[in-house]
A = this chain, B = another copy of it.
Amino acid sequence: MRKTWIALALLAVVLLLHGGLLTGAQPPDPEPAPAAQAPAEPPAGHASPVLPVLLGVVVILTAAKLGGAIFERFHQPAVLGELVFGVLLGNLALFGYTGVEFLGTTEGIEILAELGVILLLFDVGLESNLDEMKSVGASSLVVAVLGVVAPFFLGWGVSAWMIPDEELLVHIFIGATLCATSVGITARVLADLGKLQKRESKIVLGAAVIDDVLGLVILAVVAGVITAAGTGGTLSSLAILWIVVKAILFLGGAILLGTWLSPRMFRVASRLRIQGWLLIVSLVFCFSLAYLANVLGLATIVGAFAAGLILDEVHYRDFLDAGEHSIEELIHPIYVFLVPIFFVLMGIRVDLSTFGQVSVLGFAAVLSVAAIIGKMICAAGVLEKGLDRVSVAVGMVPRGEVGLIFASIGASLVLHGEPVISSEVYSAVVIMVIVTTLITPPALKWTLARGERHRAAAAPAIE
């Protein structure tokens, strides 16, 4: 424990030094100058946009590793420590220290964080493969559909009950916000606990991906309807259908085409025999599908997961035979570098000061309960017997980054001159996201352990 405090003291020194340096020297520019633009004032020292990123990465990685170390010491998943230390970092202003406020507003840090979550889902995809996905496909599909339908109507109902003055479309939008599942948190917890290979894990991950697609389709449709209503028109059912078809075409197409293309791509690459080819080809493939997913109106992480799902060791046997590491091993250092940035940044974005408003807290509490109950119904969707249904349901609870994205889209949509999601509702949705996200790692750890104890107790009776 003493070592942890030494490390904590070091972090404090860095931050204090930074605060001092900021007043004494060049501040990291929160709105960096356009690229290739040199600083207007000497002494030299190039005021490049990389500067706040360098400082930010130093602070974030230090916080991430300290938070992770402390939480692991108390037998909690490291990711929870990263989130909590992120919340602390993001709210130091409440204690009068504003030296780290640039962390949440620096675009470069956001980009690294998003590359991090893309790599996280790519890695999750790599750890799965299509045949396994198919074997849990039926359960995943039922779990996913229940996990979308139940929270949607629960959220709609809660919203109509708690804020009856708002319009119908607002209630529908809040319902949509509750649909998403953030596979990132669950995947990270399962990875930290070494449970990614469990059948329950595969059902959750498969369902979370289907859920993400379903949720994004609902969001796209609801947002389309709201925009049409805002401009006095209506969205044609053809347009709604097109959004749905696009999503299905992307996943199906990516998997079909990718399964055909990726062995050929690797064969070409392996014959060129250049240092680092395997890693580069994998990254290019992952980023291409992530980009393509977005072009089609889906989340980048859906594309990254599809990319990981498609790539299989069989495809790059030539590289492995030549003594190269596997893609997972090659990706790992980049993962270690970027993924914690994402989780700390998610924590940083949380504004603790909204927690002070009682009405916000009340709505947030009801919304959180609806969000949790809505996903617990997923347990009924596990078709196979003998599996740990509760863990599957708990794994579906976190809304994470997807929930935050939904909320921010709602805040930007305008209906009759006002944002669909008002700032109070926004705060409540953000709190719901935090609660569902923070509750999952310890809950999942607990239910998994309980499930294993049950099975261990049951096993002798069967034998």
Contact = CB atoms under 8 A, between A and B. Distances in A.
Interface string A178-222: 000000000000000000000000000000000000001001100
Interface in A56-88: 57-58, 61-62, 64-65, 68-69, 72, 78
A49 B107 contact: yes
Given A3-B271, A279-B333, A294 B39 contact: no
A344 to B, nearest CB: 12
Interface string A29-52: 000101111111111111011110
A318 interface: no
Given A6-B268, A41-B227, A274-B78, A110 B35 contact: yes
Interface in A398-415: 405, 408-409, 411-413
Contacts of A72: 274
Contact of A291 (B51, B62, B275, B336): B51
B409 A39 contact: yes
Provide the main secondary structure of the chain A interface. helix
A413 B39 CA distance: 9
A164 to B, nearest CB: 26
A298 B10 CA distance: 24
A41 B409 CA distance: 9
Contacts of A39: 409, 412
Contacts of A284: 57-58, 61-62
A61 B280 contact: yes
B3 A110 contact: no
A50 B283 contact: no
Given A61-B283, A334-B334, 18 more contacts: A7-B269, A14-B288, A36-B110, A39-B412, A40-B412, A42-B223, A43-B220, A45-B295, A49-B111, A50-B111, A50-B114, A53-B111, A54-B118, A54-B288, A55-B291, A78-B274, A108-B111, A332-B333
Interface of A: 3-4, 6-7, 10, 14, 21, 25-26, 32, 34-46, 48-51, 53-55, 57-58, 61-62, 64-65, 68-69, 72, 78, 104-108, 110-111, 114-115, 118, 216, 219-220, 223-224, 226-227, 243, 265, 268-269, 271-272, 274-277, 279-280, 283-284, 287-288, 290-291, 294-300, 330-334, 336-337, 340, 349, 405, 408-409, 411-413
What are the 9 closest A-B residue pairs judged by CB atoms, nearest first? Answer: A42-B223, A50-B114, A276-B336, A38-B408, A45-B297, A44-B220, A38-B412, A108-B111, A38-B409
